[in-house]
Structure 1
Amino acid sequence: MFMRTGQIIAVAAATLTALPAVAQELRYAHVGAEGDIQTRYAEEAAAEIEEATDGEVTVQVFPASQLGGVSEMVDGVRMGSIQMGHHDFASLAQIVPDVSVFNAPFIYRDGAHALAATDPQSSPALQQINEQLIEEGDVRIIGRIYRGARHISSNFEVKSPEDLAGKPFRAVPLDLWVSMVKGFGATPTPVEVAELPTALMTGLVVGQENPLTMITSNSLHEVQSHVAMTGHMQSVLAVFINEDVWQGLSEENQTAITEVLDAKAEESLQWAQDSEEDLVAELEEAGMTVITEEDGLDIDAFREKVLAQINTDFPEYEPLIEQIMAIE
């Protein structure tokens, strides 16, 4: 029995329709280590994206700098050899310098505000920067991760900027951090994180600032006696993707991915808040004195002096900071 040409075409079309779509695999890189909130976020988001897109998009995660350091990761996403990545917003400053504003101190009221201000769907400030990232670097921010607040540790009691006046204080070797430490009233002393315990032990610096997770994981309680709960920075990371890759996804899959990342952002906030309570107890058990506003910590004084210094050193940030602070 022979089929006519029209029948053959119809059968072939039906066969092609029945074939499963070829999954698009995205390589997702980051520098976070095992056990970090950002590592949990990437792993869970990858699994949920595959489920939400019915297997049409799969994500292979490469943690712990497996595909290179921050600069290599950002370059890879720009070129498309790495499709996705995440890190501090400031890591994208090589494309658009003003993106660093989202790492600025004292611009967020709390973690929830930080997530609202960095929402690619609704934050005017982030949308403005995103347009520039797409145009200048072919990179789009599509999500964010909350890692917790940064606090001050020292080997003496700190309640106000006057307590740090003229003292050598560790600054992350970036201009924004140097400006912040000047606002603390201290003398900025750039120290790489790998050298920090030794610098604190020898007195090269008498204090530093970091999330509590870093203080515990690096055993800084062994060389520091106090933690001032300033919460001066809300540590938020940007999740970004190559723009050509993003445009190559269907609108349905773009929406599915965005919904997964938004939900994970809210979960990361809860993870960080839950872990901070446990970490405070852990540091107190290790012998550290934890100083809060109830103990006389003058967070308003730190906020006023630090923001004044940032405005002096980075006047171009002022309109963006105003937009960020106005977000509900």
Structure 2
Amino acid sequence: MSSMSKFKKLAGISAFAFAAMTAANSVNADTWRYAHEEYEGDVQDVFAYDFKEYVEENSEHTVQVYRFGELGESDDIMGQTLSGILQFVNQSPGFTGSLIPSAQIFFIPYLLPTDMDTVVEFFRESEAINQMFPKIYADHGLKLIQMYPEGEMVVTANEPITSPADFNDKKIRVMTNPLLSATYEAFGATPTPLPWGEVYGALQTNMIQGQENPIFWIQSGGLYEVSPNLTFTKHGWFTTALMANLDFYQGLPEEEQKMIMEAGDYAFNKIIKHIDGLAQEALDKIMADCKECTVTRLTEEQIDAFQARAPQVKEKFLSMTGETGEKLLNQFQEDLKEVQKDK
């Protein structure tokens, strides 16, 4: 299916799927509903089906998975989860950050390293992720089951990007996330929040001149077709999280709560293996399909020019999140020191 065909299908699917879901809710209480933000075969979809596999093998429940667009955009599926229509939602802090400001910490550029071994160890061992974030999410009606990385962020644009000056006069699509907007303002661009369903068309018509995403999503969504210059800036990794409606989770027997958390761990271990090598595979597909595409990997000197602008984003994060954000950031930095000390 072409990239544009994917987008054209969304409106019809959404209304039908929502009606079917509501009907299912009344006749099958043993079915748990789970929505995510990506297409069939993408990282969140693979994670969802690993989670589903564990739940269905270790309980009498079934899990119904809904992919991007079937129930609307990211804001829609979060609202459906908070209202109890959905039991589970997989969503990036890029969108959750409007509900939970401190989740935007992942968008402080150059806070996280980009080598996979360090990133994975950080997610496994971080006190900030595994102890502090669950309490923060619970305050907003969500049970945090698992946070996991999807891939290094890559910028695509209408020309190669090698310096902050190259972002001048460029509108760069961002998720509806104030801190991500602050990042691209710091980089010299004009951040332009757009829902995912509008991104391809906006790039195609030059309404925007660029965007950022992990490389597998750039390939899966066909973004390289309309934004052919890829730049590896090394400013961060795309992070996402599986959450449950807190009331739903707390209403379950203790053994089922335990099983859900084990399912999250099972899916995490599987997805880490899945994403190993995925970025190169996606890049190879892009370059085989797109003769005009370019790939720019910034030198250390070029990275320094972007990294010098990161402190202003960090200050923005602290001003937005107060004491909670300060404690979280301090713990993040301690956790990172711990996983990097032997490397």
Q: Smaller-chain TM-score range?
A: 0.7 to 0.9
**One-letter amino acid of the structure 1 residue matched with residue 143 of structure 2:** R
- Aligned counterpart for 2:222 among listed residues 219, 223, 226: 219
- What displacement does 1:142 show? 0.8
- What displacement does 1:106 show? 2.6
Mapping 1:79-228, distance limit 5 Å: 79-93=83-97, 95-110=99-114, 111-115=116-120, 117=122, 123-125=127-129, 127-134=131-138, 136-228=139-231
Q: TM-score, normalized by length of structure 1?
A: 0.78
- Matched residue, 2:79: 75
* Other structure's SS at 2:156 match: strand
- Matched residue, 2:333: 325
Tell me the distance in 1 between the aligned counterparts of 2:220 and 2:257.
36
Contact 1:28 1:85 in 2 (8 A): yes
Tell me the distance in 2 between the aligned counterparts of 1:167 and 1:154.
9
Structure 1 residues 299 and 66: alpha-carbon distance in aligned structure 2, compared to 1, 3 A threshold: same
- Aligned counterpart for 1:280 among listed residues 273, 283, 286: 283
Contact 2:123 2:148 in 1 (8 A): no
Q: CA RMSD in A?
A: 3.1
Structure 1 residues 246 and 222: alpha-carbon distance in aligned structure 2, compared to 1, 3 A threshold: closer
Identical-pair percentage: 27
Tell me the distance in 1 between the aligned counterparts of 2:180 and 2:234.
14
- Matched residue, 1:10: none
* Other structure's SS at 1:214 match: helix
Contact 1:182 1:309 in 2 (8 A): no
Tell me the distance in 1 between the aligned counterparts of 2:31 and 2:171.
48
**One-letter amino acid of the structure 2 residue matched with residue 45 of structure 1:** F
- What displacement does 1:324 show? 1.6
Aligned residues: 301
- Matched residue, 2:294: 289
Tell me the distance in 2 between the aligned counterparts of 1:248 and 1:29.
20
- What displacement does 1:92 show? 3.5
- What displacement does 1:192 show? 4.5
Structure 1 residues 56 and 249: alpha-carbon distance in aligned structure 2, compared to 1, 3 A threshold: farther
**One-letter amino acid of the structure 2 residue matched with residue 182 of structure 1:** E
- Matched residue, 1:50: 56
Unpaired segments of 5 or more residues in structure 2?
A: 1-28
- Deviation per CA, 1:94-119: give whole Å up to 9, x if none: 54322232344332213455555556
- What displacement does 1:61 show? 2.2
Contact 1:159 1:297 in 2 (8 A): no
Unpaired segments of 5 or more residues in structure 1?
A: 1-22
- Matched residue, 2:266: 263
Larger radius of gyration: 1
Tell me the distance in 2 between the aligned counterparts of 1:142 and 1:158.
37
